[in-house]
């Protein structure tokens, strides 16, 4: 290490671009000069890269080495043996060969869902999919944990193209800032969520748009169980709504609009189908229950008079109806999305600047943030000839019940029989529901392979763990959706210990399996970066844009992307000319009733938006009335589980645990004081968390954000650290979408009365030295099998 300070070089993350230099064992981090509003999450980088939780060498689970591939309940509870790279890659290639030849490619699950790191080339999931496609394909996953219900139901409502626009944030923030008078935000507009953009963000601009809107006089009605889902910089009002009360509220608002003659009948006639069916449901023609404010009040916790007044204000204003993604990450999550569109249709402002419907504006930084009229550089993934797939959040079901049938969007399909699970760039022991059940599921396959920089819960449940570099240990191209710049992401420090890039690892295995040339196309990493850039440059110059050469771009460090589009209005063309710009729904219009969905015959997703009573309720936990709604939302202090050991995330912990926020009255009733370690539990599991008391939380609700590293090391609780996914139910949103429903569950919270176990999530697993393993009986039998 030099004596002077090393110069800062630019790199990027999903939470924003930054500059960094080595400083001792850690990093000095500064915001990127182009970012006007950098996120505090950059603080997690300083000490995380060289943290002891890094995977240092290729590591193989002892039981797998000794007994060979096969189902094993010890996964997650076994020792590891560190091997040389060559030995590890030989074993992996042999096992891939065995599984393919004995069971076919469909027996490999390459779902590998997850966010990994920013960067277009080292995008871990693309690397894995390209690699597996070179081998003949894999069972894949479809959709995301983010908006799994929306992407399936939206095409039935506004067509596939309309759905893509809704998800990308069809109406721009700039338009909302200039035109919206009343923004009715179901799920609020959580500022910390907008720090994220998949792939990275050079400039955080949501805050500036909010300031502009506020100074012009836009008001926000924030319907959320948490007061601070309404950003302090915005004038507005908090409507403390019971979790999952939204559909009841929306139906009641619709009922008032219709009953008080405020619904835009002309809009319904011209642009929608199925309004009569939906209105009949509102009136209660079939079930005898009008969906009026008096009906909704006990379901949502808001007064009937407030709902009436809100409906009238909405009809009198340029109103933007916003439904956050969180609402659909829940049982029957299709309904709030469909109901929100129905409400916007009754208001008749869809397609007008600042009016209509929006989804995810407080969920992600790129939503409403403009778009680019061309593709961004990306690694080609090749073609996957294997047909079998699952909706992404059905992973445990698939592993536990091969051959069983599942419903999905009108289809009935069998779960494939998986022998090998391959994960690069995600952490299912962070993201999936009911982690105890996931542990049983991960015991089933013959082999689990994980590429990870860190000893995460998922790495600990694998057989073959390969150490990979993080973003600061390599060069890449950085850009997110709708971003302002393409960034040269430059290596800040050499790889920690023996970590290698995912690309390098796949290249090594591909070579062993005879598809090295196919995978690498003969290119080194620097050659790939230049190649991807030049391909992209070709696309742009073909359309008349002027773009510098790769060398010039790399030297300059950043390239402002040409022709960025702001000022879009969702479905403006459709509004202007619905015949010419028909939606690609069966009717060509917005479907308030869908015959297609109705014909599927799913009781959990009928043909129009409907109130469906949640399976779980706090009262059902027992007659003592101590059950609470749990909100498992996104953490303020990090992205999911990433860099949970970093300084900023650690600064948020209470008694070393994930903070659980609750109302002081609820705490008092349970004998809980601020700072106490508490036990949060239900029939699926239990975890420890650190109590934070706040009047920003609706009574009857607790908030335990996701992302604390799973820590099953204590016999007293399922997780000693505070991962809410030991509590959430592993249940699809409905038969339609089978999306993730992890946002909500119900729990009890009580003081921890037994001695509090330590958090061991960030420690290395137990290792057995390789010589000891080699001395064990018939050790290397596996290595030879199916040798290549
Ligand atoms: N209860 C509940 N659960 C939820 C949610 C919720 O609201 N409630 N939200 C869900 C949502 S929306 C999402 S998107 C998921 C997120 O779930 P994930 O995307 O799985 O979570 P991350 O923690 O981002 O996991 C990324 C992993 O990739 C690793 N990684 C980083 N860079 C690289 C790399 O270059 N190569 C490789 N091989 N690995 C790398 C990181 O160390 C990390 O372990 O969680 C879901 N789970
Ligand atoms: N800082 C940070 N930002 C992130 C992420 C992260 O991990 N950290 N993850 C990113 C990812 S991958 C995604 S998909 C998005 C997710 O974006 P969202 O799903 O929108 O985010 P959440 O934080 O889960 O939920 C937003 C708010 O919804 C409210 N809410 C919960 N349940 C209900 C309900 O039933 N009714 C109403 N009205 N409100 C409710 C909660 O109070 C919560 O704060 O966030 C992204 N942004
Ligand atoms: Mo997500």
pLDDT, tens only, 273-315: 999 999 999 999 999 999 999 999 999 999 999 999 999 999 9
Distance, CA 249 to ligand 2 centroid (Å)? 19
Indicate which ligand has the atom closest to the C-alpha of 114. Answer: 1
**Which residue, by CA, sits nearest to atom 42 of ligand 2?**
226
Residue 83 Cβ inside 6 Å of ligand 2? The answer reads no
pLDDT above 50 (res 788): no
pLDDT above 70 (res 780): no
Q: Which residues, at least 6 apart from 38, have a Cβ–Cβ distance to it below 8 Å?
A: 16, 18, 31, 32, 204
Residue 640 Cβ inside 6 Å of ligand 1? The answer reads yes
Same-domain check for residues 656 and 723: yes
pLDDT above 80 (res 485): yes
Same-domain check for residues 249 and 137: no
Distance, CA 317 to ligand 2 centroid (Å)? 27
Torsion over CA of 460, 466, 470 and 473, rounded to 10 degrees? 150
First to last CA, the chain: 42
* 620 pLDDT tier (thresholds 50, 70, 90): confident
- 464, 492, 524 — which closes off a domain? 524
Q: What is the mean pLDDT of residues 523-549?
A: 97
Is 50 within the bounds of a domain?
A: no
pLDDT of residue 370: 84
Residue 454 Cβ inside 6 Å of ligand 1? The answer reads yes
Probe target for ligand 1 pocket from 427, 429, 434, with the most ligand atoms within 8 Å of CB: 427
Are 432 and 473 a contacting pair, CB within 8 Å?
no
Digit-coded pLDDT (tens) for 550-603:
999 999 999 999 999 889 999 999 999 999 999 999 999 999 999 999 999 999
Residue 743 Cβ inside 6 Å of ligand 1? The answer reads yes
pLDDT of residue 622: 78
State which ligand 2 atom lies nearest to the alpha carbon of 360.
Answer: 20
pLDDT above 50 (res 786): no
Same-domain check for residues 574 and 662: no
Probe target for ligand 2 pocket from 147, 188, 193, 742, with the most ligand atoms within 8 Å of CB: 193
Structural domain harbouring 720: 618-751
pLDDT above 70 (res 784): no
Assign residue 637 the CATH number of its domain: 2.40.40.20
pLDDT of residue 1: 45
- 3-class SS string, 289-356: CCCCHHHHHHHHCCCHHHHHHHHHHHHHCCEEEEECHHHHCCCCCHHHHHHHHHHHHHHCCCCCCCCE
Active-site option among 15, 115, 145, 454 = 115
Is 607 within the bounds of a domain?
A: no
Assign residue 477 the CATH number of its domain: 3.40.50.740
Residue 331 Cβ inside 6 Å of ligand 2? The answer reads no
Probe target for ligand 1 pocket from 431, 641, 742, with the most ligand atoms within 8 Å of CB: 431
Is 13 within the bounds of a domain?
A: no
Probe target for ligand 1 pocket from 12, 41, 55, 116, with the most ligand atoms within 8 Å of CB: 116
**Which residue, by CA, sits nearest to atom 13 of ligand 1?**
145
Are 768 and 62 a contacting pair, CB within 8 Å?
yes
pLDDT of residue 219: 98
Is 90 within the bounds of a domain?
A: yes
Q: What is the mean pLDDT of residues 32-36?
A: 97
Q: What is the mean pLDDT of residues 634-657?
A: 98
pLDDT of residue 773: 62
State which ligand 1 atom lies nearest to the alpha carbon of 123.
Answer: 35
Report the Cα 700 to chain-centroid distance in Å. 26
pLDDT of residue 3: 53
Residue 743 Cβ inside 6 Å of ligand 2? The answer reads yes
Same-domain check for residues 398 and 503: yes
Q: What is the mean pLDDT of residues 240-264?
A: 98
CB burial of residue 51 (10 Å; 0-12, 13-18, 19+):
middle
pLDDT of residue 441: 98
Active-site option among 64, 113, 239, 408 = 113
pLDDT above 50 (res 2): no
pLDDT of residue 774: 61
Is 172 within the bounds of a domain?
A: yes
Residue 267 Cβ inside 6 Å of ligand 1? The answer reads no
Q: What is the mean pLDDT of residues 433-444?
A: 98
Cα angle 63, 69, 73 (rounded to 5 degrees) comes to 55
Residue 739 Cβ inside 6 Å of ligand 2? The answer reads no
pLDDT of residue 169: 83
Same-domain check for residues 312 and 228: yes
Predicted TM-score of the model (pTM): 0.97
The average confidence (pLDDT) of the chain is 96
Residue 222 Cβ inside 6 Å of ligand 1? The answer reads no
Lowest mean pLDDT among 40-44, 182-186, 620-624: 620-624
Same-domain check for residues 281 and 417: no
Annotated catalytic, 85?
Answer: no
* 624 pLDDT tier (thresholds 50, 70, 90): confident
Same-domain check for residues 135 and 201: no
Is 777 within the bounds of a domain?
A: no
Distance, CA 194 to ligand 2 centroid (Å)? 10
Coil vs helix vs strand at 119: coil
The percent of residues in the chain predicted with pLDDT above 90, rounded, is 94
Distance, CA 580 to ligand 1 centroid (Å)? 42
Distance, CA 246 to ligand 2 centroid (Å)? 15
Digit-coded pLDDT (tens) for 131-175:
999 999 999 999 999 999 999 999 999 999 999 999 988 999 999
Annotated catalytic, 115?
Answer: yes
Alpha helices in 81-149 (DSSP H): 85-103, 124-134
pLDDT of residue 65: 95
Residue 201 Cβ inside 6 Å of ligand 2? The answer reads no
- 501, 524, 547 — which closes off a domain? 524
Return d(Cα 347, Cα 181) in angstroms, integer.
14
State which ligand 2 atom lies nearest to the alpha carbon of 636.
Answer: 1
pLDDT above 80 (res 21): yes
Q: Which residues, at least 6 apart from 550, have a Cβ–Cβ distance to it below 8 Å?
A: 529, 530, 533, 534, 537
Residue 247 Cβ inside 6 Å of ligand 2? The answer reads no
Distance, CA 187 to ligand 2 centroid (Å)? 8
Same-domain check for residues 245 and 112: no
State which ligand 2 atom lies nearest to the alpha carbon of 632.
Answer: 24
Is 631 within the bounds of a domain?
A: yes
Indicate which ligand has the atom closest to the C-alpha of 193. Answer: 2
Same-domain check for residues 358 and 436: no
Report the Cα 412 to chain-centroid distance in Å. 26
Residue 191 Cβ inside 6 Å of ligand 2? The answer reads no
pLDDT of residue 710: 98
**Which residue, by CA, sits nearest to atom 19 of ligand 2?**
326
Assign residue 201 the CATH number of its domain: 3.40.228.10
Return the axis-axis angle of helices 502-512 and 124-134, rounded to nearest 10°: 10
Are 741 and 145 a contacting pair, CB within 8 Å?
no
Residue 391 Cβ inside 6 Å of ligand 2? The answer reads no
Is 626 within the bounds of a domain?
A: yes
pLDDT of residue 785: 35
Same-domain check for residues 627 and 719: yes
Probe target for ligand 1 pocket from 55, 425, 449, 509, with the most ligand atoms within 8 Å of CB: 425
Distance, CA 397 to ligand 2 centroid (Å)? 25
Return d(Cα 230, Cα 249) in angstroms, integer.
18
Residue 228 Cβ inside 6 Å of ligand 2? The answer reads no
pLDDT of residue 619: 84
pLDDT above 70 (res 225): yes
- 490, 524, 558 — which closes off a domain? 524
Digit-coded pLDDT (tens) for 715-725:
999 999 999 99
Are 131 and 553 a contacting pair, CB within 8 Å?
no
pLDDT above 60 (res 615): yes
**Which residue, by CA, sits nearest to atom 27 of ligand 1?**
426
Domain count, the chain: 3
Same-domain check for residues 433 and 578: no
Return d(Cα 109, Cα 125) in angstroms, integer.
12
How many C-beta atoms surround the C-beta of residue 535 within 10 A?
Answer: 13
Digit-coded pLDDT (tens) for 487-498:
999 999 999 999
Same-domain check for residues 590 and 459: no
């Amino acid at each position: 290490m030099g004596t002077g300070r090393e110069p800062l070089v630019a790199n990027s993350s999903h939470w924003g671009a930054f500059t960094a230099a080595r400083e001792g064992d850690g990093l000095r981090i500064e915001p990127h000069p182009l970012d006007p509003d950098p996120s505090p999450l950059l603080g997690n980088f300083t000490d995380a890269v060289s943290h002891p939780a890094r995977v240092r060498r290729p590591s193989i689970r002892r039981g797998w080495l000794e007994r060979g591939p096969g189902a094993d309940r010890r996964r997650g509870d076994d020792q590891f043996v560190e091997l040389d790279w060559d030995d590890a890659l030989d074993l992996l290639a042999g096992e891939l060969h065995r599984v393919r030849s004995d069971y076919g490619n469909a027996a490999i699950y390459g779902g590998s869902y997850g966010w990994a790191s920013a960067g277009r080339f080292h995008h871990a999931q693309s690397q894995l999919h390209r690699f597996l496609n070179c081998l003949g394909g894999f069972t894949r996953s479809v959709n995301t944990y983010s908006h799994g219900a929306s992407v399936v139901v939206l095409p039935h409502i506004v067509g596939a193209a309309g759905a893509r626009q809704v998800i990308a944030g069809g109406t721009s923030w700039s338009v909302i800032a200039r035109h919206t008078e009343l923004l009715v935000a179901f799920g609020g507009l959580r500022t910390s969520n907008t720090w994220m953009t998949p792939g990275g963000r050079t400039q955080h601009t949501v805050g500036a748009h909010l300031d502009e809107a506020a100074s012009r006089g836009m008001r926000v009605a924030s319907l959320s169980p948490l007061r601070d889902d309404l950003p302090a910089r915005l004038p507005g009002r908090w409507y403390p709504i019971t979790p999952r009360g939204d559909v009841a509220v929306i139906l009641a608002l619709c009922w008032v609009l219709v009953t008080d003659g405020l619904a835009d009948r002309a809009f319904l006639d011209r642009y929608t189908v199925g309004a009569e069916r939906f209105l009949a449901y509102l009136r209660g023609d079939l079930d005898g229950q009008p969906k009026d404010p008096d009906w909704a009040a006990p379901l949502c916790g808001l007064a009937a008079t407030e709902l009436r007044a809100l409906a009238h204000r909405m009809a009198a204003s340029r109103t933007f109806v916003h439904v956050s993604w969180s609402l659909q990450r829940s049982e029957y999550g299709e309904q709030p999305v469909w109901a929100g569109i129905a409400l916007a249709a009754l208001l008749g402002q869809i397609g007008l600047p600042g009016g209509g419907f929006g989804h995810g504006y407080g969920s992600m930084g790129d939503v409403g943030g403009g778009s680019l009229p061309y593709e961004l550089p990306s690694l080609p993934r090749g073609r996957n000839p294997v047909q079998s797939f699952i909706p992404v959040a059905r992973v445990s079901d698939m592993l536990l019940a091969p051959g069983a049938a599942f419903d999905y969007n009108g289809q009935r399909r069998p779960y494939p029989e998986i022998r090998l699970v391959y994960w690069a760039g995600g952490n299912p022991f962070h993201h999936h529901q009911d982690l105890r059940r996931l542990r049983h599921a991960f015991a089933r396959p013959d082999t689990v392979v994980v590429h990870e920089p860190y000893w995460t819960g998922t790495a600990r449940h694998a057989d073959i763990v390969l150490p990979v570099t993080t973003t600061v240990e390599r060069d890449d191209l950085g850009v997110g959706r709708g971003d302002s710049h393409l960034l040269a992401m430059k290596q800040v420090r050499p790889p920690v210990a023996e970590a290698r890039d995912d690309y390098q690892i796949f290249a090594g295995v591909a070579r062993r399996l005879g598809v090295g040339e196919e995978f690498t196309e003969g290119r080194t990493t620097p050659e790939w970066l230049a190649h991807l850039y030049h391909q992209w440059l070709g696309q742009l110059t073909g359309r008349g844009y002027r773009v510098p050469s790769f060398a010039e771009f790399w030297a300059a460090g950043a390239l402002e992307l040409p022709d960025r589009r702001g000022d879009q209005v969702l479905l403006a063309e459709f509004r202007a000319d619905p015949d010419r710009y028909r939606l690609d729904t069966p009717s060509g219009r917005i479907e308030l009733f869908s015959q297609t969905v109705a014909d599927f015959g799913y009781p959990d997703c009928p043909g129009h938006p409907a109130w469906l009573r949640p399976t779980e309720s706090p009262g059902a936990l027992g007659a003592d009335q101590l059950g609470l709604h749990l909100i498992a939302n996104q953490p303020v202090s990090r992205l999911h589980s990433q860099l949970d050991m970093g300084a900023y995330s650690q600064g948020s912990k209470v008694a070393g645990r994930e903070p659980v926020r609750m109302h002081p009255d609820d705490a008092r009733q349970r004998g809980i004081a601020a700072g106490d370690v508490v036990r949060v539990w239900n029939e699926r599991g239990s975890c420890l968390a650190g109590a934070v008391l706040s009047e920003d939380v609706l009574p009857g609700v607790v908030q335990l954000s996701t992302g604390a590293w799973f820590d099953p090391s204590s016999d007293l609780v399922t997780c000693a650290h505070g991962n809410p996914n030991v509590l959430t139910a592993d249940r699809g949103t409905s038969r339609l979408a089978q999306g993730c429903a992890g946002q909500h569950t119900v729990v009890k919270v009580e003081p921890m009365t037994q001695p509090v176990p330590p958090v061991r999530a960030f420690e290395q697993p137990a290792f057995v030295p390789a010589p000891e393993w080699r001395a064990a009986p018939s050790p290397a039998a596996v290595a030879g099998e199916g040798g290549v």
